[in-house]
Structure 1
C-alpha cells in the first residue's frame, strides 16, 4: 500500500467511529494532518500489513476517545485544535503511528 491508500484506510476508520461531538474546521485539519503523518510513518517503516492497519485503526479510536475526554473536561461542545493536541500529548509517546 502507498501513503495515499493507508491514509484513506485510516480516515475511513475514523469516519466510521461513533462520536457525539463535531470537529471544528481547525481540529479537522489537525486530525487529518496527524493521520497523514501516521500513514507516512507506516509506509516508511514498511508496516502496512493487515495487522498493522488494525493496530493503526485501534490507536486512531484511542485518539478519538481521548479527544472526547479532553472535550468533555474542557466543557467544549465541539472538538477543537486544543482537544487534538491535548489528546496526542496524553497518549504520546507510544501511540503508533501517530507519535
Structure 2
C-alpha cells in the first residue's frame, strides 16, 4: 500500500493560480513600499538640495519639493500600471487568452 502523505514528484508544490496571486501581491507590496518611501525622499532631498546648494528658501523651496514628490508618486503609478498592462490575461482554467506580444501591437 502506497503512502499518500508523500508528495508525488510530478505534481507542483503550488498551483499556477496560487503562484500568480502571490506574484501579484508581491508586486503590490513592493510598489506600496515605493509609494511610501520615494516621495518622502524626493521631498526632503529636494528641500535639502535647494537650500544647501542653490540657496532657495521659503515658499519656493517647499513648493518645488512638493511638486517633485507628486511627480514621483505619479511615476510610480505609471510604472505599476504599465507592468500590470503587460501581464497576460487568463481564463477560468488558467489558459492565456491574449499573449503579451499581441497586446504590444495594439
| TM-score, length-scaled by structure 2 | 0.30
* More RCO (CA 8 Å, sep 6+): 1
